[in-house]
Structure 1
Amino acid sequence: MVENYKVITLCGSTRFKDAFFDVQKRLSLEGNIVISVGLFGHSGDEEVWKPGVKEMLDDMHLRKIDMADEIFVVNPGGYIGESTRREIAYAKETGKAVSYLEQPE
């Protein structure tokens, strides 16, 4: 049997590595294909800070949003940084649904 799985790209600060893993697990168990970040620069993946790498990863993340049906914002405590705000705006501009771990005020 072939299912029609929803594709969800996770967005949020990479300081929330554990929350990303928790959300990825939950959404996967709910029957979704989950696309996440490749590296967690704010949680110890130093390669992110080499010249040109963060810019490449930021652009790649927009392509991940292009592949998705929607995005899910991992925002413990309601925190949404500048990069995540840009990704949310891009998702909305391209007609993607946006869901949040914690609804922003």
Structure 2
Amino acid sequence: MPSPQPPTPEEKFADAKKLLGLPRIVVICGSTRFMAEMAEADLRETAAGKIVVKPGCDLKSPHGLWADPAEAEALKSRLDELHRAKIRLADEVLVVGDYIGDSTRAEIAYARALGRPVRFTHPEVDPGA
């Protein structure tokens, strides 16, 4: 009889969230052109009792942290990795907006590969539909 496999880090994390009694965690994805819509989605999801994580920087808006083009490119790479970590943390994904660009498309594929449910504010833009 084969010995049971030890739980994966993902399984351990899911169990820890249950033991801690944490609410569901939703990560908001989408183009930063929809930052206002993301804020509204954050409000609604929070009011529904969920923990919300979303993009924290809008590189399309001027700011000293990304004024230098070389630093902006390095920051974008770090932010992309950070957002993938947010997707791993979350129980579900909410895609905001009526446009899906390459970055958001990649985030949706990543979330689905991890088995995360993906919802859309505009279901007609679902690349998997």
**TM bracket, shorter-chain basis:** 0.7 to 0.9
Quote how far apart the aligned CAs of 1:4 are.
Answer: 4.0
Indicate how the Cα distance of structure 1 residues 44 and 17 shifts in structure 2: closer, same or farther if over 3 A, else same.
farther
TM-score under structure 2 normalisation?
A: 0.72
- Compare the two structures and name the one with the higher strand fraction: 1
Q: Which runs of 5+ in 2 are unaligned?
A: 1-19
Aligned length: 102
- Per the alignment, residue 22 of structure 1 pairs with 40
Indicate how the Cα distance of structure 1 residues 4 and 17 shifts in structure 2: closer, same or farther if over 3 A, else same.
same
Q: Which runs of 5+ in 1 are unaligned?
A: none
Measure, in 2, the Cα distance between the counterparts of 1:11 and 1:84. Answer: 7
Pick one of 91, 113, 119 that aligns with 1:93.
Answer: 113
- Per the alignment, residue 13 of structure 1 pairs with 31
Residues 15-65 of structure 1: CA distance to partner in whole angstroms, max 9, x if unpaired? 111101000000000000000111012244463452410000001100000
TM-score under structure 1 normalisation?
A: 0.88
CA RMSD of aligned residues (A): 1.7
Deviates most, 88-97 or 47-56: 47-56
Measure, in 1, the Cα distance between the counterparts of 2:102 and 2:64. Answer: 20
Measure, in 1, the Cα distance between the counterparts of 2:63 and 2:85. Answer: 21
